[in-house]
Amino acid sequence: MTIPIRNHVLEAIKQKENFTDKELEKLLAKDGTVITNSKFNKVLLDLEIMGLISVSWVTKENRRIEAITEKVEEDKYDEQIKETQEKDYEASFPSS
């Protein structure tokens, strides 16, 4: 039962990408998802461990919850190697 709740919480976070814990709890309550405080904390911890969200303390009582978007970094060195390999492969065939 934890996985559907976890997925629901993650989808809610992705809608806005930046919440406080109180805002997220209100949004979930509005959607009809009733979740205990300990279960809510467990879901947030699981999502953070999986690298899907970031949770940081703003004040003593409030946390900021942010969705982590995957950044695809292109490595120029890897691109050069790939291009060289493609050229070497093409050069390995005799000209027709």
* CATH number for the domain harbouring residue 64: 1.10.10.10
Residue carrying the six token digits 């039962």 = 1
Contact 66, 17 (CB under 8 A): yes
Assign 2 a pLDDT band (cuts: 50, 70, 90): low
For residue 74, the enclosing domain spans 1-96
pTM: 0.67
Assign 71 a pLDDT band (cuts: 50, 70, 90): low
Number of domains in the chain: 1
Q: Give the torsion through C-alpha atoms of 12, 13, 17, 23, to 10 deg.
A: 90
